[in-house]
Structure formats: C-alpha cells, structure tokens
Amino acid sequence: MYSKRDETKVKKGKVMRRILGESLALSVLAVCTAAFVYSGIYNVAASNDHTAIGKWTLHTTMHNSVKAAVGDMTVPDLSDNDMIQQGASAYDSLCAACHLKPGLKDTVLRAGLNPMPPNLTEQGHWGPAEQFWIVKHGIKMTGMPAWGATHEDEELWEMVAFLKTLPELSEQEWNALIRPNEQSPRRQSRNGKGPDVCLDPDKQEATGKQQT
C-alpha cells in the first residue's frame, strides 16, 4: 500500500508532467505560428478568397467586437426628412461606390474588394447604433474607412437615418431624393473637411440670390 507521502509524490509527479506537457505544447504552437508568419505561405492577395474557417473567424470576431463597443448607445430620432436627405447626399458621394444604390448593381471599385462590401440597398442585420459605430470608426482590413475622422457625429447620424430608408427606395425615389433640383449647389461639410451637397430649397434660393 502507498503511504500518504507516496501519494503526495505521485500527485506532484502528475502535476509536473501536466505542466511540462502544456509548456511543450505551447512552445510547439509558438514555433509553428512563427514559422507560418515568416514563411510567406499565406496568400494575402485580395484576389484570393478567404477559406471558410477564415471567413467565419473574421466575421464572428468583427460582429462581436462591434456589439461590445456599442454598448447602450443612445440613438437620436432618425425620422426627420431633412436629416434623411442630407444623409442621402453624403451616402451618394462617400458610400455608393462600394455599397451600391438603387439602379447601381456593381462598380469597378467594389468588384476588387475582399471582403466584398455589403450591399446596403438590401435589408441588413445591423441596428442604427451599430451602423453609427461602423460608419464612425470603420473596420480594420476591410476597406471600410473611419468617417469620424473627417465628419461630425451629426453628419454621421444623418447617414444612418438615410440607411434606414435605403432598402425601400426605388431608383426613381432615389433620384428624386438625391436630385430634387438639377441645379443643386455644392457646399462643404459642416466641419469643412469633406464634400457635401446642399439640398435645402430655401438655402438654394438664398444662394441663388447671393450669386445674382
């Protein structure tokens, strides 16, 4: 029979073997990871699609990261028509080339991106808070820029307000929204860092009087 001292030695031996085994496994994993990174074997070309597991890992990581970052963000009232119209103008100049618009099925820029940007003319799964966070902060390694670097929060919420209505718009409704007047004068964004379009008829009239 084993004495208590012998049992203690056996337990310690098992613990030490487990620690050594785990340390060896971690060391092998670290060596293999370093070999993979420095070998250049992984194809980073955008023309080469991700593997299924790679796609799942990246998408799941991004999805959970955005959800965690948003938290309990307060969403303002997004039903104002002027807000939606201003957001449509910004979307047309900043987003449509990648995310499409009514009547636009594909673009040269979009075709070469990997991952492919979501088609925002179709109903998506993100809520307004998540959309605002993505528009403001962008997404790494996707080509999605952080528009918060050049635009104020108010302007970004205008884009989100428009995104709520986009999937329901026909091409005719889009054109009426984005070009209510073919003579619409251009203006700078409110912080002076990005282009925007003035679609307010009263402002258009006032601008016309100043020019005359």
Residue 198 DSSP label = -
At residue 136, what is the residue type?
Answer: K
Distance CA 188, CA 192 (A): 5
At residue 151, what is the residue type?
Answer: H
Asked if 101 and 174 count as a contact pair (C-beta separation under 8 A), the reply is yes
In this prediction, the residues of the chain whose per-residue pLDDT falls under 70 are 1-6, 182-212
pTM for this model (two decimals): 0.74
Distance CA 207, CA 160 (A): 28
The CA R_g of the chain, rounded to the nearest whole Å, is 27
What is the pLDDT at residue 181? Answer: 77
Q: What is the number of other CB atoms lying within 10 angstroms of the CB of residue 211?
A: 7
Distance CA 34, CA 26 (A): 12
Asked if 120 and 160 count as a contact pair (C-beta separation under 8 A), the reply is no
What is the pLDDT at residue 191? Answer: 47
Helix (H, G, I), strand (E, B) or coil at 144: strand
Residue 120 DSSP label = T
Distances (CA, A) of 204 to 84, 129, 132, 193: 18, 32, 29, 21
